[in-house]
Amino acid sequence: MVSLQTNGGAYLGYVLNQNPDVVLLRTITRQGLLTGVRTIELNGVLQAHFDDRYVRLIEFKEHNPEVVYALPAAPEGLEQQYLTVPALLQRAQEMRQLIQLETHSNHDFYGFVSRLTEDELMLEVYTQYGEADGHTVMDVDSIRSVIWSDEDTRTVELLIRQQKPEDKS
């Protein structure tokens, strides 16, 4: 797979054919879904990226659609209770659910709630590539949104599971 930066935007896909004038690309979305075939003039290509982290992430989504695009799981029983951000964080901590937090300062974090008090939480943070990225402590009031399960959180969770060594006991 390749990512081509052009004057008209960026395109992801597989090169089907090329010549000195154009490249024929089977295009793919950032979700890993094939969309069509496109010709791109080579003189308009500014950059070509291949085998980088982002391209590998898209390939990973393409090869794992049954997990990445599974029906989002909602936390059981929350529809019967008064929903608050602290209640959702508490449930995520109890279930060891990977969540994404969007903050009022426009920082997004993927991770597991490792500690929660009335005012703050500690999050075991992971990158979008499933790599451990330390811990973050933040005010509960700084959280704008909690994303329980979507395409990106399921991708990160699957990447984390695949990186953990198998238990040989």
- Nearest Cα neighbor of 46 from 79, 89, 3, 107 is 3
pLDDT bin (cut points 50, 70, 90) of residue 138 is very high
pLDDT bin (cut points 50, 70, 90) of residue 117 is very high
Q: Which residues pair with 56 in a beta bridge?
A: none
pLDDT at position 119 is 94
Give CA–CA dist 118/120, Å, rounded: 6
Lowest average pLDDT, out of 60-64, 101-105, 111-115, goes to 60-64
Residue 79 confidence (pLDDT) above 70: no
| Mean pLDDT, residues 77-100 | 85
CA distances from 159 to 20, 70, 74, 127, 155 (A): 38, 15, 21, 10, 6
Q: Please state, rounded to an integer, the average pLDDT across all residues of the chain.
A: 89
How many whole angstroms from its chain centre is CA 139?
Answer: 24
Residue with token string 């960026």:
10
Residue 168 confidence (pLDDT) above 60: no
pLDDT at position 130 is 95
pLDDT tens by residue, 14-24: 999 999 999 99
Q: Which helix (H) or strand (E) holds 163?
A: helix 151-163
pLDDT bin (cut points 50, 70, 90) of residue 77 is low
Residue 111 confidence (pLDDT) above 60: yes
| Mean pLDDT, residues 76-99 | 84
Give first-to-last CA distance, the chain, whole Å: 38
pLDDT tens by residue, 140-160: 999 999 998 888 999 999 999
pLDDT at position 78 is 63
pLDDT tens by residue, 27-62: 999 888 888 999 999 999 999 998 888 889 988 888
Q: In this structure, what are the phi and psi dihedrals at residue 82, rounded to the nearest 5 degrees?
A: -70, 115
pLDDT bin (cut points 50, 70, 90) of residue 166 is low
- Contact between residue 140 and residue 156 where contact means Cβ atoms under 8 Å apart: no
